[in-house]
């Protein structure tokens, strides 16, 4: 087929799909049969701007073009207006979620104002707490981090009666994490787990295998970095989140668990972090700073990691799954990115560990439009929305069945492949610490950040962590 014919065939299929004449499965089957699976997928992902420009908006290519609105949404609330403190204006997911809102409004008549949410999770919690303290009805729907149900439960509209049935199809552990004193206070929207990203082209160029242990990662990062720096002085080996904030707790937990150093606090709320293996794991990470990682990594959150990575300036990165779709949108990394579980320690017993993250939809009890807010949450957590969020933005569904959708595999193979890794993700100690969790985590990441920047030994930091965490429990 000529290029123009292929384009026509792809657009025709996407039109049929958008108009509901064929479903997603039929779309991918027909696209494969016509030899146009790749262009169709890249349009669906918005990954091929040149091609997408040729397609009319209705034919796809625009962010959110694969979103299908569930048929059973209420239409009797038309005219209501709600506000969602949601996607940050800096976020690469913004166009997708704006498109999702537009489709929701078209189907239900409910208007949704997207209020810019902070991209850093700690700051987002702070902003929510201010709203709650004022019992403000300005925001109807929030997105809440998986570590917050115990912190924000008292401000929630319990959702079990209206949305409980939809959670039967979701991962039970995540639903459980959103249940506080028998009330379902958040509906799982997407889940998260820490992953290793690597540059497939550079592994090949330097003849190194994708690392499975931290030692292998250190060696591979060093080799590639030394080679690339000859041409590109900005090139670094490994980027991750080292700033003193919640993301460092996630990274630190992975270092500890993957080398046998425990989970900071055990299930019975004993502080376990002051042990030799955990101390060695923290010391090890400190050697990366100004070595295989840039000195500035101690100030990195996810967006800084993302920027270095998508500019093509790192061999390896630790981030959440969303970075996969973003990598396909940057010329420096498109088609050159592999994804695997994070490395583990060298011990025979050591296993890779991914911190469990993820976000839920939450309705504020101060909302004056609770019915419309609940309808929006129904849409945003539906299998239809979650399927598209996985296809276009590589966000992990909270519904196990969505992992088996062939379109998800076609867009991001790692999602079904790593499902067991995601299911085994390690929770931060938020369940056993409840509303004390933010304070506990603050102690951990502040002390750990000092170790990384060389101002404190890991042994001293671990001792401080232990005494400060115990003091928090004693003050309760
Ligand atoms: C991601 C995770 C969230 C975590 C945050 C840390 O957004 O989904 O659970 O707290 O990163 O930066």
Cα 246 to middle of ligand 1, angstroms: 7
CB of 189 within 6 A of ligand 1: the answer is: no
**Among the ranges given (54-63, 89-98, 407-416), the one the predictor scored with the smallest mean pLDDT:** 54-63
3 state DSSP class of 322: coil
Q: Whose CA is nearest to atom 3 of ligand 1?
A: 357
81-193+358-420 matches 195-355+430-474 in fold:
yes
Cα 207 to middle of ligand 1, angstroms: 33
CB of 357 within 6 A of ligand 1: the answer is: yes
Q: Whose CA is nearest to atom 12 of ligand 1?
A: 247
Is 61 a residue whose pLDDT tops 90?
Answer: no
3 state DSSP class of 173: helix
Report the residue among 88, 119, 143, 145 best suited for mutation to probe ligand 1: largest number of ligand atoms under 8 A from its CB.
145
Measure Cα distances from 360 to 142, 179, 386, 470 in Å. 8, 12, 12, 30
The pLDDT assigned to 50 comes to: 29
Is 22 a residue whose pLDDT tops 90?
Answer: no
Q: Is 209 exposed, middle or buried (0-12, 13-18, 19+ CB in 10 A)?
A: exposed
Considering only CA atoms, which of 307, 290, 306 is closest in space to residue 298?
A: 290
- In this prediction, residue 33 has a pLDDT band, given cuts at 50, 70 and 90, of confident
Share of the chain above pLDDT 90, in %: 87
Ligand 1 atom closest to Cα of 120? 12
pLDDT tens profile 202-215: 999 999 999 999 99
CB of 192 within 6 A of ligand 1: the answer is: yes
pLDDT tens profile 279-324: 999 999 999 999 999 999 999 999 999 999 999 999 999 999 999 9
Ligand 1 atom closest to Cα of 357? 9
The pLDDT assigned to 5 comes to: 63
pLDDT tens profile 437-466: 999 999 999 999 999 999 999 999 999 999
Supply the DSSP string of 277-313, one letter for each residue.
HHHHHHHHHHHHBTTTB-GGGGG--HHHHHHHHHTT-
Report the residue among 117, 143, 192 best suited for mutation to probe ligand 1: largest number of ligand atoms under 8 A from its CB.
192
The pLDDT assigned to 442 comes to: 98
pLDDT tens profile 68-107: 999 999 999 999 999 999 999 989 999 999 999 999 999 9
CA dihedral 129→134→138→139, nearest 10 degrees, is: 20
HSE (side-chain half, CA atoms, 13 Å) at 6:
13
pLDDT tens profile 101-156: 999 999 999 999 999 999 999 999 999 999 999 999 999 999 999 999 999 999 99
The pLDDT assigned to 43 comes to: 62
Burial readout 77-108 (b: 16 or more C-beta within 10 A, e: otherwise): beebebbbbbbbeebbbbbbbbbbbebbeebb
Say if CB 18 and CB 365 are below 8 A apart. Answer: no
Q: Is 245 exposed, middle or buried (0-12, 13-18, 19+ CB in 10 A)?
A: buried
- In this prediction, residue 23 has a pLDDT band, given cuts at 50, 70 and 90, of confident
From the candidate CATH numbers 3.40.50.2300, 2.130.10.10, 3.30.450.20, 3.40.190.10, the one assigned to the domain spanning 81-193+358-420 = 3.40.190.10
- Rounded to an integer, what distance in angstroms lies between the CA atom of residue 362 and that of residue 184? 10
Element housing 151 (H / E):
helix 149-152
Element housing 415 (H / E):
helix 414-417
pLDDT tens profile 379-388: 999 999 999 9
Looking at domain 195-355+430-474, its CATH architecture is 3-Layer(aba) Sandwich (3.40)
- Rounded to an integer, what distance in angstroms lies between the CA atom of residue 194 and that of residue 318? 7
Is 158 a residue whose pLDDT tops 50?
Answer: yes
What are the extents of the domains in the chain? 3-45, 81-193+358-420, 195-355+430-474
Cα 253 to middle of ligand 1, angstroms: 13
Is 54 a residue whose pLDDT tops 60?
Answer: no
- Which residues, other chains included, contact 467 with Cβ-Cβ below 8 Å and sequence gap of 6+? none
Cα 148 to middle of ligand 1, angstroms: 11
Considering only CA atoms, which of 97, 136, 137 is closest in space to residue 116?
A: 97
The pLDDT assigned to 52 comes to: 29
Say if CB 243 and CB 251 are below 8 A apart. Answer: no
Cα 357 to middle of ligand 1, angstroms: 5
Q: How many CB atoms are closer than 10 A to CB 409?
A: 17
Is 175 a residue whose pLDDT tops 60?
Answer: yes
Ligand 1 atom closest to Cα of 192? 8
Q: Whose CA is nearest to atom 11 of ligand 1?
A: 247
Cα 298 to middle of ligand 1, angstroms: 17
Is 333 a residue whose pLDDT tops 70?
Answer: yes
Residue 265 is given by DSSP the state B
CB of 377 within 6 A of ligand 1: the answer is: no
Is 430 a residue whose pLDDT tops 70?
Answer: yes
- Regarding pTM above 0.85, the answer is yes
């Amino acid at each position: 087929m000529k290029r123009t014919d292929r384009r026509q065939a792809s657009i025709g299929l996407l039109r049929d799909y958008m108009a509901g004449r064929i479903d997603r499965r039929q779309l991918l089957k027909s696209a494969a049969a016509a030899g146009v699976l790749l262009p169709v997928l890249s349009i669906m992902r918005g990954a091929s701007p040149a091609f997408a420009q040729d397609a009319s908006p209705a034919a796809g290519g625009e962010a959110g073009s694969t979103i299908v609105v569930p048929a059973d949404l209420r239409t009797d609330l038309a005219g209501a207006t709600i506000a969602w403190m949601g996607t940050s204006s800096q976020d690469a997911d913004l166009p997708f979620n704006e498109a999702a809102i537009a489709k929701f409004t078209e189907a239900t008549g409910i208007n949704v104002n997207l209020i810019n949410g902070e991209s850093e999770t700690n700051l987002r919690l702070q902003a929510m707490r201010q709203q709650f303290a004022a019992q403000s009805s300005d925001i109807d729907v929030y997105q809440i981090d998986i570590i917050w149900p115990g912190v924000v439960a008292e401000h929630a509209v319990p959702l079990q009666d209206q949305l409980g049935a939809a959670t039967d199809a979701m991962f039970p552990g995540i639903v459980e994490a959103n249940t506080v004193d028998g009330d379902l206070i958040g509906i799982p929207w997407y889940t998260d787990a820490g992953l290793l990203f690597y540059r497939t082209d550079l592994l090949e160029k330097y003849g190194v295998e994708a690392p499975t242990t931290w030692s292998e990662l250190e060696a591979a990062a060093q080799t590639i970095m030394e080679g690339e720096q000859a041409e590109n002085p900005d090139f670094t080996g490994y980027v991750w989140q080292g700033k003193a904030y919640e993301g460092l707790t996630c990274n630190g937990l992975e270092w500890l668990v993957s080398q046998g150093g425990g989970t900071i606090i055990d299930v019975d709320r004993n502080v376990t972090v002051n042990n030799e293996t955990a101390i060695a794991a923290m010391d090890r990470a400190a050697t990366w700073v100004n070595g295989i990682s840039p000195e500035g990594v101690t100030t990195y959150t996810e967006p800084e990691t993302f920027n270095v990575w998508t500019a093509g300036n790192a061999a390896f990165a630790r981030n959440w799954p969303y970075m996969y779709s973003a990598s396909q949108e940057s010329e420096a990394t498109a088609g050159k990115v592999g994804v695997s579980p994070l490395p583990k320690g060298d011990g025979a017993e050591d296993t890779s560990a991914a911190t469990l993250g993820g976000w839920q939809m939450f309705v504020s009890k101060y909302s004056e439009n609770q019915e419309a807010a609940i309808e929006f949450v129904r849409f945003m957590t539906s299998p239809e929305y979650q399927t598209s969020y996985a296809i276009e933005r590589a966000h992990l569904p909270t519904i196990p069945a969505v992992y088996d959708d062939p379109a998800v595999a076609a867009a991001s193979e790692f999602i079904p492949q790593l499902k067991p890794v995601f299911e085994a993700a390690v929770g931060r100690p938020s369940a056993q610490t409840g509303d004390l969790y933010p304070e506990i985590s603050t102690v951990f990441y502040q002390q750990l950040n000092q170790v990384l920047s060389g101002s404190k030994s890991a042994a001293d930091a671990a001792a401080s962590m232990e005494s400060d965490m115990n003091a928090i429990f004693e003050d309760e």
